[in-house]
């Protein structure tokens, strides 16, 4: 091992990186782009759902129902319908995605303290919209109940002591972005690190410089160190950018310890580097390596809980998620960010991450040595 040679290899790698017109923008722009896309689009709460109202009652009470819906920023009144056909047209023509129908006699029923019916019609063609609209509406109706039936509400509360409201812990505003940004921290580390690492070795093999280096005094460990260090440094910069923008711009709270977060990400970094190295070794060309990365990205995104909760998966698919390293780091980053969890709570995830980091990295190393000596 010669430090001087390693330094030289790192210098060379950075020079090459700085000359690659494709890689550098990808390294800097990709994380920011993903932050914006995921942060503003995927992570955003749905607002201003277009609402159609068919008020057959036309009383103060019925108007207060409409007001309750439009008061929150979740719904925006776009259509005032006069009959069923109006409602149908509004939904068909995409002018409304939710409609409420207040039947005649609604106010009378309320006044008499009888249960009154309110029909909510939701456009089911967008699953996310219908889910959210249902949830929002339920919340609003809940609140309406306490206003319109003060006596009954007090009674129910006093008698049975049931509180129907769900209390949301850790993420009281239920800001989707609060779970999205920590997740992105891990996800970006995964895709960019494994993507550039996968190019690193196969590129040199294609050009013959790998072959050349191994007839010089450069040793295998030196070569590998010279490859890994630059990309690890790049990843650290990327993670810092995402962290900074996430906490300062998107105002995601960070309640845990920086050390625990860094430790988790470091373990995950080794896993990603190892994965990239493996791909680089089994691919014959750069293009092949790239395709393999893309091929592996989608399943990891879905089978890790990054975009969809793991609970929605069928049992057999759920079993697969245990071998997806991203699954564990996601729990770590989200818990450290939002709950302030430490190693005491997160040790199972850390154990799993250590196994993956050591296992995958060792596999990459042994494959590297084997391939070069054959």
Partner 1 sequence: MRLFRTTSRQTSAAPDSPEAVVADGLTKRFGDFTAVDAIDLSVPRGEIFGFLGPNGSGKTTTIRMLCGTIAPSGGSATVMGYDIATQPEKVRDNIGYMSQKFSLFQDLTVDENLRFYSGIYGLSAEGFAERRSHILQMAGLVGRENEMTANLSVGWKQRLALGCATMHRPQLLFLDEPTSGVDPTARRQFWDLLYELAREGVTLFVTTHYMDEASHCNRLGFMYRGRMIAAGTPSEIRGMCSDQTILAITDDDRERLLDHLEKQAVVHEAYLSGASVHAVVDSEEVCAGSTLSIDSGDLRVRAAACVEADLVAAGFAGARAVVVQPTIEDVFVHLVSQERERQG
Q: Which residues make up the interface to partner 1 (CB under 8 A)? A: 2, 4-5, 8, 12, 15-16, 19-20, 207-209, 211-219, 372-374
Nearest residue (CB) to partner 1, 125 versus 285: 285
- 113 contacts 151 by C-beta, under 8 angstroms: yes
Q: Hey, how many other C-beta atoms are within 10 angstroms of the C-beta on 159?
A: 8
Percent of the chain that is helix, strand, coil (3-state, to 5): 70, 5, 25
CA distance 202 to 280: 5
Nearest residue (CB) to partner 1, 102 versus 213: 213
For the bound state, the minimum distance from the C-beta of residue 364 to partner 1, rounded and expressed in Å, comes to 20
CA distance 194 to 196: 6
Nearest residue (CB) to partner 1, 95 versus 370: 370
Say which residues have a Cβ less than 8 Å from residue 56's Cβ, sequence separation at least 6. 101, 102, 103, 104, 106
For the bound state, the minimum distance from the C-beta of residue 373 to partner 1, rounded and expressed in Å, comes to 6
Nearest residue (CB) to partner 1, 152 versus 366: 366
Report the DSSP pairing between strands 75-81 and 98-102: unpaired
Polymer length of the chain: 374
For the bound state, the minimum distance from the C-beta of residue 293 to partner 1, rounded and expressed in Å, comes to 21
For the bound state, the minimum distance from the C-beta of residue 212 to partner 1, rounded and expressed in Å, comes to 3
Nearest residue (CB) to partner 1, 27 versus 213: 213
Say which residues have a Cβ less than 8 Å from residue 221's Cβ, sequence separation at least 6. 1
Nearest residue (CB) to partner 1, 19 versus 151: 19
Strands (E) across the chain are located at 49-55, 75-81, 98-102, 119-122
For the bound state, the minimum distance from the C-beta of residue 24 to partner 1, rounded and expressed in Å, comes to 12
Nearest residue (CB) to partner 1, 210 versus 296: 210
State phi, psi for 11 to the nearest 5 degrees: -55, -45
Structure tokens that stand for 202 in this block: 């196969």
For the bound state, the minimum distance from the C-beta of residue 176 to partner 1, rounded and expressed in Å, comes to 42
For the bound state, the minimum distance from the C-beta of residue 359 to partner 1, rounded and expressed in Å, comes to 27
For the bound state, the minimum distance from the C-beta of residue 267 to partner 1, rounded and expressed in Å, comes to 32
Three-state SS for 55? strand
CA distance 5 to 223: 9
- 145 contacts 157 by C-beta, under 8 angstroms: no
Nearest residue (CB) to partner 1, 209 versus 366: 209
Sign of the C-alpha dihedral computed for residues 37, 40, 43 and 44 taken in this order? negative
């Amino acid at each position: 091992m010669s430090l001087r040679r390693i330094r030289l290899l790192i210098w060379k790698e950075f020079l090459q990186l700085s000359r690659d017109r494709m890689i550098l923008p990808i390294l800097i722009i990709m994380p920011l782009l993903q932050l914006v896309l995921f942060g503003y689009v995927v992570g955003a709460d749905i607002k201003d759902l277009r609402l159609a109202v068919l008020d057959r009652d036309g009383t103060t009470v019925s108007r207060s129902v409409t007001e309750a819906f439009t008061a929150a920023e979740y719904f925006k009144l776009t259509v005032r319908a006069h009959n069923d056909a109006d409602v149908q047209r509004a939904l068909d023509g995409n002018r409304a995605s939710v409609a409420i129908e207040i039947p005649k006699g609604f106010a009378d029923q309320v006044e008499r303290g009888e249960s009154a019916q309110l029909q909510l019609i939701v456009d089911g063609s967008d699953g996310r919209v219908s889910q959210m609209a249902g949830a929002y509406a339920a919340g609003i109706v809940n609140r309406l109940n306490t206003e319109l039936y003060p006596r009954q509400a007090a009674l129910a509360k006093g008698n049975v002591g049931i509180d129907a409201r769900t209390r949301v812990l850790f993420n009281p505003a239920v800001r989707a972005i609060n779970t999205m940004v920590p997740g992105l921290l891990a996800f970006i580390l995964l895709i960019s690190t494994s993507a550039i690492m996968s190019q690193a070795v196969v590129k040199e093999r294609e050009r013959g410089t790998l072959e050349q280096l191994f007839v010089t005094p450069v040793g295998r460990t030196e070569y590998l160190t010279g490859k890994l260090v630059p990309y690890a440094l790049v990843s650290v910069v990327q993670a810092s950018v995402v962290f900074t923008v996430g906490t300062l711009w998107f105002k995601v709270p960070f309640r845990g310890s920086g050390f625990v977060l860094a430790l988790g990400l470091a373990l995950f970094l080794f896993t990603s580097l190892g994965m990239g190295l493996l791909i680089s070794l089994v691919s014959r060309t750069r293009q092949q390596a790239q395709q393999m990365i893309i091929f592996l990205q989608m399943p990891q995104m879905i089978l890790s809980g990054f975009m969809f909760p793991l609970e929605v998966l069928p049992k057999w698919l759920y079993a697969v998620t245990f071998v997806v390293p991203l699954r564990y780091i996601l729990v770590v980053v989200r818990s450290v960010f939002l709950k302030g969890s430490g190693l005491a709570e997160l040790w199972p995830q850390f154990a799993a991450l250590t196994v993956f980091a050591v296992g995958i990295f060792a596999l990459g190393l042994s494959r590297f040595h084997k391939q070069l000596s054959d």
